[in-house]
Amino acid sequence: MSPAPPRDADVVARLRGALGDAVDTSPAALAEARADRSGHGSGSDPLAVVHARSVEDVQEALRIATGTGTPVVTRGAGTGLAGGANAGAGEIALSMRSMDRILEVRPDDLLAVVEPGILNADLNAALAPHGLWWAPDPASRDISTVGGNIATGAGGLLCAKYGVVRDAVLGVDLVLADGRLLRLGHRSVKGVTGYDLTSLVIGSEGTLGVVVGATLRLRRLVAGEVCTIAATFPGVHAAAAASAAVTATGVQPAIMELMDAASLAAIHALLGLDAPIPARRSSRCRPTAPARRRRPRRSRPSSPRAAARSPSRDAAEGERLLRVRRSMHPAMAALGTTLIEDVSVPRSALAAMFDEIARVERAYDLTIPTVAHAGDGNLHPNFIFEGPDVPPVVWEAADELFRAALRLGGTLTGEHGIGVLKRRWLADELGEDQWALQRGIKALFDPENLLNPGKVFAI
């Protein structure tokens, strides 16, 4: 007969004995670990929050977890939008936020080695004096960690031109569930030894191991004139079609963002700006290079169907427009509880996906404010509702949107991840054989299913 599992108090006592004051059981810390920014939260508190300060802390916590059969949920800054880092009953929340050092910067090799808890924006502020920057640029860059960006395979505003996180990571240091430390990847530009486990870990949402370090691929800051173009269209379909036409010509703006009428109205209300030009779900499409990262000026794309175009080489104006776009999340939060979705389609299908959103709005009598990274076809439809729980009608409408994206050759998530919110649809996209294969990979890394159980894969 196998021994009975240890009581929760015993697990906490073992953690305290090994890690001391790194173990936090205060009500505030436990409550915070239950939720992220998705609006979804676990139903009860985790056992404890472990504030890891070193690789050794992570290894010790995972050895105790394995020895006691206790699940572990790894957290960064809690800015995720899919519920992937939410910890609940009987689980240890392993916070990486205190591991925030830059261990090495090599301008000659265009790389940096960092701990996972450093904020994206803080990293780039530290790299700027070296004439360097790290390209991933999520809207949450000021508050999200590099480790969290890696865990979700984040993208952001600049990824159409400069790539996503997977393109900007050379290697990761990974602690397995049993405490073993693996150093994956390489420091060289090229490297094809064995399977690419680094790419496998990126976007794995804490289900394969705990990232405790990362070797990042950097870029040089390049001086140049910045041109920002704001264009207003008579309707969102026209704006999306024009965005697809821009990329089809081969012109590659650093940023090209699209906001529909409902999004613009909410943002203007939040920031106290004049009301946007009225239109039928009018949208603003911004092919731009941000002023904080000056780039050589590219030719300006033409858009004859735009009702108004406003090119500017004024850096302050470019930053003002970026602020409008980056205010989307707080603008939605001001309207109520928000389910922020994340479908992605081929760029040529962007207008068709907006048509599908309009169809779902009519079918379910909803308003679905939507912004898009128009340069790469990644859309963020937002569902607004009252109360903590997503109403059934919202899930029904979201189901329609997900299936529409798949029909158009797209995907359930471009950058937020699966977490708990989309796991029921994962097999629909992957197919049963690939779904089973991915479950098998998870079991190989984590045979006891202790790392972020219940996330990504629905049992």
Q: What is the identity of the amino acid at 445?
A: F
- Name the nearest CA neighbour of 149 among 140, 157, 162: 140
Contacts of 389 (CB under 8 A, 6+ apart): none
163 plus 235 within the same structural domain: no
State residue 287's pLDDT score. 38
State residue 4's pLDDT score. 52
- Domain-located, residue 384: yes
Which of these three, 364, 383, 407, is where a domain ends? 407
Which of these three, 381, 407, 433, is where a domain ends? 407
Let me know the angle formed at the C-alpha of 406 by 257 and 440, rounded to the nearest 5 degrees.
110
Sites in the chain below the pLDDT cut of 50: 1, 279-304
State residue 157's pLDDT score. 87
Taking CA atoms, 80 is separated from 18, 303, 336, 417, in Å, by 29, 35, 18, 9
**pTM recorded for the entire structure:** 0.87
Q: What tokens were used for 376? A: 């790469």
- Domain-located, residue 159: yes
Tally of structural domains, the chain: 3
- Domain-located, residue 75: yes
Which of these three, 71, 97, 123, is where a domain ends? 97
- Domain-located, residue 422: no
State residue 322's pLDDT score. 86
State residue 335's pLDDT score. 92
175 plus 318 within the same structural domain: no
273 plus 396 within the same structural domain: yes
- Domain-located, residue 2: no
pLDDT tens digit sequence for 250-271: 888 999 999 999 999 999 999 9
State residue 290's pLDDT score. 33
75 plus 215 within the same structural domain: no
- Domain-located, residue 3: no
- Name the nearest CA neighbour of 227 among 183, 291, 179: 291
Task: Report how many helices (DSSP H) and strands (DSSP E) the chain contains, helices first.
Answer: 15, 18
* CA dihedral for 366, 372, 377, 382, sign (positive or negative): negative
List phi, psi (to 5°) of 243: -60, -45
State residue 310's pLDDT score. 72
- Domain-located, residue 428: no
CB atoms within 10 A of CB 426: 17
- Name the nearest CA neighbour of 442 among 212, 201, 213: 201
Domain span at residue 120 reads 102-220
186/197 Cα distance (integer angstroms): 11
- Domain-located, residue 426: no
Q: What is the identity of the amino acid at 95?
A: S
140 plus 198 within the same structural domain: yes
247 plus 296 within the same structural domain: yes
12 plus 158 within the same structural domain: no
Residue 446 is given by DSSP the state -
393/355 Cα distance (integer angstroms): 19
State residue 110's pLDDT score. 98
Q: What tokens were used for 278? A: 């009225």
93/100 Cα distance (integer angstroms): 17
339/355 Cα distance (integer angstroms): 20
208 plus 277 within the same structural domain: no
245 plus 365 within the same structural domain: yes
